[in-house]
Amino acid sequence: MSGIYLDHAATTPMLENAIAAMDAQLRTLGNPSSLHTQGRHTRKDVEDAREILAKELDCLASEIIFTASGTEANNTAIKGIYWQQKALGKNVVVISAIEHHATLDPAQWLAEHEGAEVIYAPVTKDGVVDLVFLRNLVAKRGSEIALISIMHANNETGAIQPIAEIVKIAGNIAVHTDAAQSFKKIPLSFKSLGVMALSISAHKIGGPLGIGVLVLRRGVEIPALLHGGGQEREIRSGTLNAPAIVALATAAQDKSYDATAIAKIRDDFAARVTQVVPGSFVNAINAERLPGIVNVTFPGTQSDTLLLLMDGEKVSCSTGSACSAGVHRPSHVLMAMGHDEISAMSSLRFSFGRTSTQADCDGALAVLPSVITRGRAASGV
């Protein structure tokens, strides 16, 4: 499949050595929970991988809980911590207004089914959580707060969130952070952040689909979502997916992600896009951002039309979010940053990764003006 792939934040090519590690593990017989030779062998591979990941995440090996996705890690943390705290009489869940659906939806589910009150922390026009709001909230209602869950970096704009500050503000309140976008892109340390829980996903870093990690502070016991063999601290059951776990650890050790080089291509793209498309602007431009993400608003267009036209020019990028029926919706992230509905539906996310080149940037910029012209014509009819 040829073409220019500028959607690395959705998923990024799997690393060759991760594929090789997965392939080898797929050929190895053994359920890591079995007590015999084969089981022990696979168990060792899984535990080696756990230790590698612990090192990369700066946490204890025993703090790693393997899940089937970043979404599952978020659900396990948010629901589990909520239930644990609910038993102590706390029912307020604080999230930011720019969370991914894998955080938004479990929080909303808790509100609808489990008596939670969800409070959405607003963000600045550059898409960074408003710390003054959080400070006031904690001062006023701290004793009622079960959990604060705020992402480490935003998936649509790349804006990095001040998690260490938030942990300070939170004091004794449990903090969870979704670090799916930031792991391996910027420095990430579970220990220094001081959060109680953190989620990552393998396929965002060149690992396989279908494997995620919840890092949960040692000693914290929360109710499980999945009950069964109790494999992961009795918090997550299910036979451990050894091939995916081993491949994730391999990807986590990879050093080929050159953040400086990727940021340079991204910055070049951002600078030139506003030149070739007058009127366009970069969102969250004043925020500290992940190296690979740029979100651009093209006034007078509809982003689903732009995506179709870009796809037709063999350039893959992304709109904000879509509902379950696949219908394009205004991005809640951009809305939270002050966009109106129309403007929030006129933006595209371009995300660069390990395999991105200057030629990708140039190629995308070459087709953009004609795409925008046709896109504007189509939204005018």
Task: State which of residues 205, 307, 333, 344 lies at the interface with another protein (CB under 8 A).
Answer: 307
> What tokens appear for 364 in the block?
């995308």
Rule CB under 8 A: choose which of 112, 312, 355, 359 binds another protein: 312
Q: How far is the CB of 365 from another protein (least distance, A)?
A: 19
- C-beta of 256 vs 324, nearer to another protein: 324
Place of tokens 């014509």: 377
> What residues between 324 and 343 interact with another protein by CB under 8 A?
324-328
* 139 or 323: CB nearest another protein: 323
Q: Between β-strands 64-67 and 212-216, what pairing exists: parallel, antiparallel or unpaired?
A: antiparallel
Question: Shortest distance, CB of residue 358 to another protein, whole angstroms?
Answer: 27
# residues near another protein by CB under 8 A: 19
Q: Which is nearer to another protein, 151 or 364 (CB)?
A: 364
Catalytic residue list contains 59? no
Query: DSSP strand E in 208-325: where?
Result: 212-216, 281-282, 293-297, 315-316
Q: Which one, 231 or 316, has the nearer CB to another protein?
A: 316
Answer for the pair 239, 85: CB distance below 8 angstroms, yes or no: no
Site membership for another protein, residue 41 (CB under 8 A): no
311 binds another protein (CB under 8 A): yes
Angle at 347 between CA 338 and CA 126, to 5 degrees: 35
CB of 366 to another protein, least distance (A): 16
Structure tokens at 82: 């909520």
- Alpha-carbon distance of 330 to 316, in angstroms, equals 19
Nearest to 54 by CA among 217, 220, 224: 217
In the complex, minimum distance from the CB of residue 335 to another protein, in angstroms, rounded to a whole number: 17
314 makes contact with another protein (CB under 8 A): no
Q: Does 377 bind another protein (CB under 8 A)?
A: yes
Counting contacts by CB under 8 A, is residue 309 touching another protein?
Answer: yes
CB-CB contact of 364 with 350 (8 Å): yes
CA angle 306, 179, 143 (to 5 degrees): 115
Task: Tell me, residue by residue from 264 to 303, as one string, x for binding to another protein by CB under 8 A and - for no binding.
Answer: ----------------------------------------
Q: Which of 305, 318, 343, 351 binds another protein (CB under 8 A)?
A: 305
What is the rounded CA–CA span in Å between residue 324 and residue 326?
5
Q: Rounded CA gap, 287 and 292, in Å?
A: 14
The verdict on 1 binding another protein (CB under 8 A) reads no
154 to each of 10, 110, 159, 318, how far by Cα in Å?
12, 22, 5, 14
Cβ(81)–Cβ(110) below 8 Å: no
CB of 326 to another protein, least distance (A): 4
Scan residues 153-172 and list those touching another protein (CB under 8 A): none
Look up tokens 């998936």; give the residue: 155
- In terms of CB distance, is 188 or 315 closer to another protein? 315
Nearer to another protein, 252 or 372 (CB): 372
What letter does residue 346 receive in the DSSP assignment? Answer: S
Query: What is the DSSP secondary structure assignment for residue 38, as one 8-state letter?
Result: H
Catalytic residues: 323
Q: Which residues bind another protein (CB under 8 A)?
A: 304-305, 307-309, 311-312, 322, 324-328, 374-375, 377-378, 380-381
